[in-house]
Structure 1
């Protein structure tokens, strides 16, 4: 009878494969360095191979160790989903849930969403991670996150999705800007303006460029910010105009009365907020319930603002 590696040993393997440092890997697993080192040695002995090359300066996976670590990660994801399936059968959306959200959505949704979920799902323990879409998708695939709230258009890959809501893209400008006298802004108007955009890597940047369809966006872009808040401050200083998601307007313009927004004409472009989870997850029905609650929360917030 084959003696199989334990899930704990596989967890140690994946932690060390990711960090290539015994101390940091042990810390991530909440064990001592000697415990992790002993677990790796036992795993190597059980498999009859060396998984890592060790020196005083570095720890590096062997080629076979890299393949085994990838398979171990998939096994850990499946094991966690097995536990999640059992929990959801007893009581859906209870216990821990690791929730990823992008920076151009999180600050504007979470203040109303977290209390809403706390009331509707008192046994749910939500752990939130905010990061750019690429990082979130990677952590979802690795089993470090369970479900994401992201925005498209964006290539999400092999995931299951649920549409939550459409979020219009609007133009923000100084109250003194000539375009502020218009009821809407055309794409021809944008071509003649200094366009401020969020830095590369944020999906909102591509959403904005697709929305405005400026013929030569590089020429028009004079500034790249790390956050929408910084963009609004630059607009208030009359250094240019920017494109923003409607969902952020109330929060970002509250302290900037000198900034106004106008819709883009004629087609009023938008991005779409999506809930996403692994296509292999056995918790799809649960995440569908979560998506419905998020929809209800956002719809209620819009009615309150109106």
Structure 2
């Protein structure tokens, strides 16, 4: 039995869809009514909350491997509760969604420190582990969908600074491989796209695919920070701005070959991701909102790794 957490977020949902049909799967969620199990035999949805350790015990019974996604950088309790329950249940392997910045000494913001501490907790637990460390999700640009549809504008901080963003589908494919295959325990995999691209470059790709002129408007630091404060606690907003500042300094341009080595194919490009999500950016009633899956407008959030399920599904 494989247990998946984060199944209402970007990567967890994709992992659930991609696991082999013959693999029994259990989806852990606080909101079962919002969680649709994939149409496949051997898949069940159970209620659980990282903040409630007793709710995790039954969910982990009989589980051999778990995909762990936590999203609140203001507490370590969620990872602590899950690891304790996993050990008690006899879980063998935890595949943890972390962040590329964990391996970068210059990244010292709150979210990165939180991810580092969570990795150390799992290393010390006695469980087998695999860490997936993605750079920013390409899907974060869904946060631009409304302004693209309604105004033909993207507002971004550091719009010319590039980052090696990664398609969440590639992260999910790597997670499935690690959950179902051998030889990945004790490994940390840095996951990026095939090239570094800036917010302005992403806007240019969208403009070409939509066959519509789009403008990229540069935000000041204060404007970007105020937008983040409207959605996040001040400590998290400050951490996201630190991550954006690191991107402006060129710290997030490195392309890793890991996706191709793991999956035997090239990492998907931003253009490939955008082709599959153009409906979110097209004007008119057919346009999807998209913002729930991405982050708010601006590369201040778009440069923070992940940010799909909550404050950080992989960060900075």
TM score, norm. by length of structure 2:
0.24
TM score, norm. by length of structure 1:
0.25
**Structure (1/2) with the larger strand percentage:** 1
